[in-house]
Amino acid sequence: MSLAARIAALASRIGLEVKTKIDASHPGLARAWVCFGHVGNQIVVRAAHNVASVTRLAAGRYRVHFASPLPDANYAWVGVARSSTNSGTQRLLIVRATADEKTPTHVDVGCATTAASFADSPEIDLVVYR
């Protein structure tokens, strides 16, 4: 057996082993993610996984609804937001108020400036892990 054939067989075997260890329930895989933004006075969802919809609650405040509920509210989320201008005005994705909800069916996120005022963004990327 040639070296190339042995390497191919090894790669195939490793692939089969990894496939048995990592499946859709693995905690390192995202349970939901979405790329959306507030453009032209409407929410535009560009791409998503396990996200049914995004609603705008107020300027810079959004609710992301999951297509399939998560098992509980003990999940982590991370997100980033793009500046709405080219002047270097940064945008942060945050949760600021106790009224912001985090449930198995949806999560509230806020997009704010570095001065801590809510502001919309043309692109927000959110990833949820559980």
Rounded to two decimals, the pTM is 0.79
pLDDT value of residue 49: 97
pLDDT value of residue 104: 97
Q: Model confidence over 58-106: pLDDT tens digits?
A: 999 999 999 999 999 999 999 999 876 666 677 877 776 777 899 999 9
Q: Which residues contact 84 (CB under 8 A, 6 or more apart)?
A: 91, 119, 120, 121, 122
**Phi and psi (nearest 5°) for 61?**
-120, 130
Number of Cβ within 10 Å of residue 76's Cβ equals 10
Q: Model confidence over 39-63: pLDDT tens digits?
A: 999 999 999 999 999 999 999 999 9
Both structure tokens of 130: 């559980």
pLDDT beyond 90 at 11: no
**What is the mean pLDDT of the segment spanning 26-42?**
92
